[in-house]
Amino acid sequence: MSKAVNNMSMGVVEPQERMKHLSHCGNFIDVDKTQPVTRYYRSGTEMLRMANVYLREGNHENAFILYLRYMTLFIEKIRQHPDYGNVKAEVRDINKRIKDEIMPTTEKLRAKLLAHYQREYEQFLANKEAERVKELEREREQERQRQRELASRQAVGSSVIPSLIPANLHVLIDDGTQPSAPDLDLLDQVVYPNDFPTGANRTNLPGSGLLLPTGDASSDKTSNSKPSFDRNQKPSYNRTDSLLAGSLRIVHVPADTMEVFLQLAKANTSNNIETCGVLAGHLAQNQLYITHIITPQQQGTPDSCNTMHEEQIFDVQDQMQLITLGWIHTHPSQTAFLSSVDLHTHCSYQMMMPEALAIVCAPKYNTTGFFILTPHYGLDYIAQCRQSGFHPHPNDPPLFMEAQHIQKDAHTKIKVIDLRR
């Protein structure tokens, strides 16, 4: 991993390093050969939808990352999939789109971002130089103040000492007697070399990375305090941009989602049959909003549910410009958790969309779970598991967890598209 990636939290301001890190994020995508190749083409479609939203909203960094990721997937990585040769029509259309639209847009974004980073860097250097000049002036003023105070103490001392020493007393330094104790107030005025650091010791700038420190601005110092560099003068980066920072974007869930879905599943639930649906929505201001439940044609059992005719789901999403944000299903007679089959089902969702939710409704126990595979263990473990059907998995470390990036929204209502009818 690059030095810039390792030091994201520390920060560096050089424009080329920042662009290098953006490119690294854009190239960070892999193809799982066990997943249907069509899912990658669906993921690519949704990737472009999000990139276009970011572009319209002026979030050029995230737009650049997604456009670059799209090109990385379909120019390079998708060729590794064993079923690549079966999607010639899609490949032809995508290659034309990349050449005519995406590549020119990405290059324009690259130039715009580099120019923006260069302006920020030049402003940073100018602020740094201005701060250096201010610090030098503060040092000079502190030295002048020290000299004035020292001169004042010497003047007071020279007027007092003669009246304190008897005229007939002559003391020699080398006569074996002890000199008097030093004046502690005078010691406080001594200036040591490290009290006023300059150059590299003064700024203490970190060496590499992208995100820049955003600590509080330094307040005005008194004459005895050490000067400090105002870190707010560094070029800043919006850390909420999760594609760059690596965090999960907030997913807004209408508060009535579970109640509405349980009503859709009521007939199946009474017969102890699972029901499933796809959660879809849109992106706005770097947050994800679930707006629809798409209930596909399906076959359910007491502990599983399989969708059919997925192309119908894709058609609806294309018509309404909806992004897949996860799935929802019932456990008619069990508690809310992810079974081994559920883990594998959700893996394909989360690989395409890191924020994808698995909502499990357990009406018998009146509970609901909002789950994701653990990002640093469970997702990779399940992706590499080649077993099918119900099979045991280790419980430690945990393979899934309660989602922490959701926000229930009481002011919006979920919409339903029921394809079973």
294: containing domain: 248-418
Same domain, 379 and 276: yes
Residue 405: count of CB within 10 angstroms of its CB: 17
Cα separation, 211 vs 193, whole angstroms = 33
Cα separation, 377 vs 399, whole angstroms = 7
Same domain, 210 and 323: no
* Integer Rg of the chain from CA: 33
Which pLDDT score, from 0 to 100, does residue 306 have? Answer: 92
Cα separation, 55 vs 256, whole angstroms = 32
Which pLDDT score, from 0 to 100, does residue 311 have? Answer: 92
Same domain, 219 and 347: no
Same domain, 176 and 45: yes
Is the preceding omega at residue 363 within 30 degrees of 0, hence cis? no
Cα separation, 78 vs 316, whole angstroms = 25
Buried b or exposed e, range 285-311, using 16+ CB within 10 angstroms: ebbbbbbbbbbbebebeebbbebeeee
For the entire predicted model, the pTM comes to 0.71
Residues sharing a CB contact under 8 Å with residue 419, sequence separation 6 or more, in sequence order: 294, 295, 296, 297, 309, 312, 313, 316
Same domain, 238 and 254: no
Q: Compute, in degrees rounded to 10, the torsion defined by CA atoms 234, 240, 246, 250.
A: 170
Same domain, 267 and 360: yes
**Domain termination site, one of 226, 242, 258:** 242
Same domain, 263 and 220: no
**Domain termination site, one of 242, 267, 302:** 242
Q: Are 81 and 73 in contact (CB under 8 A)?
A: no
Which pLDDT score, from 0 to 100, does residue 160 have? Answer: 53
Structure tokens at 356: 């994808």
Same domain, 6 and 148: yes
Cα separation, 247 vs 237, whole angstroms = 14
**Domain termination site, one of 211, 242, 273:** 242
Which residues, in sequence order, are bridge partners of residue 327?
Answer: 278, 358
Counting the structural domains of the chain, the total is 2
Same domain, 192 and 333: no
Structure tokens at 71: 């090109």
Which pLDDT score, from 0 to 100, does residue 241 have? Answer: 57
What is the tens place of the pLDDT at every residue in 269-304?
Answer: 999 999 999 999 999 999 999 999 999 999 999 999
Structure tokens at 203: 């700024």
Q: Report residues of the chain scoring pLDDT below 50.
A: 1-11, 161, 163-167, 169-182, 184, 186-240
The domain that holds 254 is classified in CATH as 3.40.140.10
Strands 287-295, 415-418: pairing is: parallel
The domain that holds 142 is classified in CATH as 1.20.58.80
Give 27-32 contacts, CB < 8 A, sequence gap 24+.
Answer: 27/68, 27/69, 27/72, 28/69, 29/69, 29/72, 29/73, 29/77, 30/77, 31/73, 31/77, 31/78, 31/80, 31/81, 32/351, 32/383
